[in-house]
Structure 1
Amino acid sequence: MKLTKKGHACVRLEREGRTLVIDPGAFSEADAAAGADALLVTHEHPDHFDEGRLRAALDAAPGVELWAPGSVAGALSAAYPGRVHAVGDGDTFTAAGFAVEAHGELHAVIHPDLPRIANVGFVVDGSVFHPGDALTVPGRPVETLLLPVHAPWSKFSEVVDYIRAVAPERAFAVHDGLLSDTGLLVYGRNLGPQGPGIGSAAYARLSPGESVSL
Structure 2
Amino acid sequence: MSSLMLTTWGHAGVRLERDDRTLVIDPGTFTDPRILDGADAVLVTHEHADHVDVPLVAAALAAAGGPGLWAPAPVVEQLAGAGAPADRLRAVDGGDELTAAGFAVRALGHVHATIHPDIPPPANVAYLVDGAVLHPGDSFTPPPAGVAVEALTLPVAGPWMKLGEAVDYVRRVAPRVAVPIHDAILSDAGLALVDRVAGGLGGAEYRRLSVGEPLQVPLPDGPR
**Segments ≥4 residues shifted beyond 4 Å:** none
Partner of 1:135: 140
1:124 aligns with 2:129: yes
Would you say the 8 A contact 1:13–1:19 is kept in 2?
Answer: yes
User: Of 49, 54, 66, which aligns to 2:52?
Assistant: 49
Task: Select which of 80, 84, 95 maps to 1:90.
Answer: 95
Deviation at 1:63, TM superposition (A): 5.3
TM-score normalised by structure 2 residue count: 0.89
The TM-score with structure 1 as length reference comes to 0.94
Distance 1:192 1:30, change over 3 A: closer
SS in 2 for 1:82: helix
SS, match of residue 78 in structure 2: helix
Q: CA deviation at 1:178?
A: 0.8
Displacement of 1:77? 4.3
Structure 1 residue aligned with 2:220:
none
Q: Is the 8 A contact 2:166 2:198 kept in 1?
A: no
Contact residue 124 and residue 138 of structure 2 kept, 8 A: yes
Helix, strand or coil at the partner of 2:191? helix
Give 1:34 deviation, angstroms.
2.3
Structure 1 residue 203 corresponds to structure 2 residue 210:
no
What root-mean-square deviation, in Å, do the aligned CA atoms of Structure 1 and Structure 2 show? Answer: 1.4
Q: Does residue 70 of the first structure (1) align with residue 77 of the second (2)?
A: no
Per the TM alignment, residue 138 of structure 1 is displaced from its structure 2 partner at its CA by: 1.8
Instruction: Provide the rounded CA distance (Å) in 1 between the counterparts of 2:66 and 2:53.
Output: 20
User: Residue 180 of structure 1 corresponds to which residue in structure 2?
Assistant: 187
Larger deviation, residues 39-48 vs 140-149: 140-149
* Mean CA deviation greater in 118-127 or 184-193: 184-193
Candidates 147, 168, 185, aligned match of 2:154: 147
Q: Cα deviations across residues 33-58 of structure 1 (Å, max 9, x unaligned)?
A: 22110000000000001111112221
Q: Which of 111, 114, 121 is equivalent to 1:109?
A: 114
SS in 1 for 2:34: coil
Q: How does 1:6-45 map to 2 (within 5 A)?
A: 6-45=9-48
The more displaced of 149-158 and 78-87 is: 78-87
Larger fraction in helix: 2
Letter in 2 for 1:181: D
Instruction: Kindly indicate whether the alpha-carbon contact (under 8 Å) linking 1:12 and 1:21 is maintained by their aligned counterparts in 2.
Output: yes
> Aligned partner of 1:26: which letter?
T
Q: Which runs of 5+ in 1 are unaligned?
A: none
Residue of structure 2 in register with 1:4 after alignment: 7
Task: Return the match for 1:160 from 161, 164, 167.
Answer: 167
Instruction: Note if contact 1:31-1:53 (Cα within 8 Å) is conserved in structure 2.
Output: no
**Shift in CA distance, 46/63, structure 1 to aligned 2, threshold 3 Å:** closer
SS in 2 for 1:122: strand
Secondary structure, counterpart of 1:110 in structure 2:
coil
Q: Which moved more, 1:122-131 or 1:183-192?
A: 183-192
Separation in structure 1 between the aligned mates of residue 86 and residue 175 of structure 2, nearest angstrom: 37
Structure 1 partner of 2:221: none
> Is the Cα–Cα contact under 8 Å of residues 77 and 83 in structure 1 kept in the other structure?
no
